[in-house]
Amino acid sequence: MIDRDHCLALDAGDPLRAFRDEFVLPEGVVYLVGNSLGALPRHAAERVRRAVQDEWGGQLVGGWNQAGWYGQPLTVGDRLAPLIGAGPGQVVVGNTTSIAIYQAVAAALRLRPERRVIVSDVQNFPTDHYMVQGLAGLLGGYEIRDFAAGRFDDAAVVLLSEVDYRTGARHDVPSITARVQEAGALMVWDLCHSVGAMEVDVSEADFALGCTYKYLNAGPGAPAFLYVNPRHHATAENVLSGWHGHAEPFAFEPDYRPAEGIRRFAVGTPHVLSFAALEAALDVWERVPMDQVRAKSMALTSLFVELVGDALELVSPADPAARGSQVSLRHADGYPIMRALIDRGVHGDFRAPDVLRFGFAPLYIRYADVYDAAVTLREVLDRELWRDEKYAQRLAVT
Amino acid sequence: MIDRDHCLALDAGDPLRAFRDEFVLPEGVVYLVGNSLGALPRHAAERVRRAVQDEWGGQLVGGWNQAGWYGQPLTVGDRLAPLIGAGPGQVVVGNTTSIAIYQAVAAALRLRPERRVIVSDVQNFPTDHYMVQGLAGLLGGYEIRDFAAGRFDDAAVVLLSEVDYRTGARHDVPSITARVQEAGALMVWDLCHSVGAMEVDVSEADFALGCTYKYLNAGPGAPAFLYVNPRHHATAENVLSGWHGHAEPFAFEPDYRPAEGIRRFAVGTPHVLSFAALEAALDVWERVPMDQVRAKSMALTSLFVELVGDALELVSPADPAARGSQVSLRHADGYPIMRALIDRGVHGDFRAPDVLRFGFAPLYIRYADVYDAAVTLREVLDRELWRDEKYAQRLAVT
């Protein structure tokens, strides 16, 4: 029998418990949407203030040199690299996940010009599949094949998410990477729903990418990252060949000449203010033992699954090792149920058509929070509180 | 004979003089690099703080609805539209200029599938030409022709900057647009060096784009904008077909279905913190009479040209109506000369191989600043102060 005192005891023994104080979390809210937008690291406000007032205000255009803005896509990439099992000079930061997908898939197609199949997961987060459709539509002559077909021997590239955004199911990176590469295709991993929630290792992948605003806590619309395996650095092409990827951007040469190494995947001028918050987020991550994050993540999701019991259908895998740091539940009236929960201070989100998602960010979610969330969910269901008319109306962003 | 008192009198009569106090400018510096990175609007710091602490920290994921983050690419686009002669629902904000160039040129090629020539200006800011090269390289079968060749009758698209970044020369938008369109090609204008410096009218253009961190003062790496003429809204394709351009992003449909209107040109998740500074910058612009900006801009650049006299070769057009808000001068030792100037508090920049650029942002540059800058430049030249060894060493960003 699990009660709240048991959960409080688990919190007292949690080796990560001190990290919660480094985040701003509203009173009276259990925030289980860190898989969508991570919480604000307390010191990020000061870091962004410094970027605005001291750097932009004080150094003006000199900030490109003095404050290191020009180098940020690579210096921040180097700081992020350990979180995905990459080394220095292998990650570039900037743009959005959508843009990084386009760069990676297009580069892969150029590296496999004789192949005309792109394997993509129709269950993947939509933008992944949409970007592939846009690229294939522009090029013509490409087949987009669903990952579920399981055939890679004529594929140029396979694009897949390590953790599924809707179900939380986790793919096995090493075995799929090996299978894809043995078939002669290139492997692109989307890490949006795994980075910061578990130990990630893409060192065998050809490309990898992801956002930084979910478990990494870098703020709304924070810059994305792109990893390119060093074995492709000399040959991979960035079709979005902007001046920041040029060998000598300030030589103002008429023709594009790619930089050596990962810099060739930089595109335009980096969004400096958004980078500042990402830097603050990485200040925290540099002190976090990722094995403890994964252990706590599995414990939190397992506790939630156990406490919810059979009140709702479990969409996520029952085995914690087979899922990310989220639990997805199914109900035909998932939308009003989630609205009723939020009204009672338990914040999850809803993914059409019928999935309730609960994300457990191990740096700031406590076992007692899990307990409170599960109890509230059972109450909303048992007392049918979600049938109130006010919960039916859809918001722009769900 | 122009002396400093005459310039002070001009400042006293300047109808825009009050705007200077709305910007943070370092003591003892004449900042003539507003054409590269505009100065910090005083209240932007508070607007960004609010985005970080009140919106991200206080609303968390709810900010997408409550703080209006989700709508920002279009709501901010509507606020920016009057500055380029566009109407509501015609401008989308986000990404970088490089990305916007790719979107516009690719969309134009799709609208003119029977034509295989892209006209681009080899003298244009390099990223424009580089992005075209990347796109043409990906597609194959396209000729890139220099704008100077003057032939458009077989061109799909013409990409050109209204004001040249290096020389400051201004193209005539209406006449070139008409010529290009009469030849059956589509016209894409890059407004990076004109928006915020003069009245801009792209209402006849097919596409237009630009950055917001130069004369618009929206901060380092602020989001770019993309204008699409309403006559193309139903047919133009965004090849960077990310989820934010989908008709129903939160329906999570497997196939891309473009939104109606300008929203289809949105791509990924907007960089919210960078948007906040842009919003603050637009708060200022909404009170600025653009005809006064252009009048003062021409007066400032003319004053500088007159005061510099024949001390250096004038690269910019001598007629103020034929140039933007910058004056470019040529000297084989331009780099050390600019370093020596900066050392004496006059900040311009250098563009390889031999151009010294001086930008005059009419909202915060005074006639007396122009006087001081010209006197300092003459002193550096007359006394050969730039020959000091310390000025020879190149910085990463020039």
pLDDT score for A17: 98
CB B183, CB B155: distance < 8 Å: yes
Full set of structural domains in chain B with CATH: 4-31+289-391 (3.90.1150.10), 46-285 (3.40.640.10)
CB A80, CB A91: distance < 8 Å: yes
**Is A190 designated active site?**
yes
Out of B26, B221, B351, name the one closest to residue A272 (CB): B221
Task: Considering the candidates B357, B364, B369, B391, report the single residue annotated as catalytic.
Answer: B357
| Residue A388 neighbours by CB under 8 Å, 6+ apart | A336, A340
Confirm whether residue A376 is marked as ligand binding.
Answer: no
- Contact (CB<8Å) A267/B48: no
pLDDT score for B83: 98
Q: What mean pLDDT is predicted for residues A144-173?
A: 98
Average pLDDT, chain A: 97
Out of A129, A256, A349, name the one closest to residue B134 (CB): A256
Task: Considering the candidates A31, A102, A213, A335, report the single residue annotated as catalytic.
Answer: A213
**Is A130 designated active site?**
no
- Contact (CB<8Å) B277/A272: no
CB B50, CB B282: distance < 8 Å: no
Task: Considering the candidates B125, B227, B265, B391, report the single residue annotated as catalytic.
Answer: B125
Distance CA(A206)–CA(B98), nearest Å, equals 25
Distance CA(A274)–CA(A44), nearest Å, equals 11
Residue of chain A whose alpha carbon sits nearest to that of B64: A397
What is the ipTM for the molecules in this complex?
Answer: 0.97
Out of A40, A241, A352, name the one closest to residue B52 (CB): A40
Mutate to test the interface with A, among B61, B111, B124 (most CBs of A within 10 A): B61
Chain A, 260 to 319: residues with Cβ < 8 Å from chain B are 267-277
String of DSSP letters for B235-283: T---SS--GGGBS-GGG--SS--BPSGGGGG--S---HHHHHHHHHHHH
Which residues in chain B land under pLDDT 50?
none
Question: Could you tell me the sign of the dihedral formed by the alpha carbons of B260, B262, B264, B266, in that order?
Answer: negative
Distance CA(A274)–CA(B220), nearest Å, equals 10
Using left for φ > 0, alpha for ψ between -120 and 50, and beta otherwise, residue B216 falls in alpha
pLDDT score for A341: 98
The DSSP element (H or E) to which B65 belongs, if any, is helix B63-66
CB A197, CB A324: distance < 8 Å: yes
Q: What mean pLDDT is predicted for residues A24-46?
A: 97
How many helices (H) and strands (E) in chain A? 12, 15
If one counts every other C-beta atom within 10 angstroms of the C-beta of residue A29, the result is 16
Residue of chain A whose alpha carbon sits nearest to that of B349: A61
Chain A, 101 to 120: residues with Cβ < 8 Å from chain B are 102, 106, 110
Rounded (10°) CA dihedral B83, B87, B91, B97: -30
Q: What is the pLDDT of residues A96-119, one digit of tens each?
A: 999 999 999 999 999 999 999 999
Q: What is the pLDDT of residues A291-322, one digit of tens each?
A: 999 999 999 999 999 999 999 999 999 999 99
pLDDT score for A201: 98
Peptide bond into A270 cis (omega under 30): no
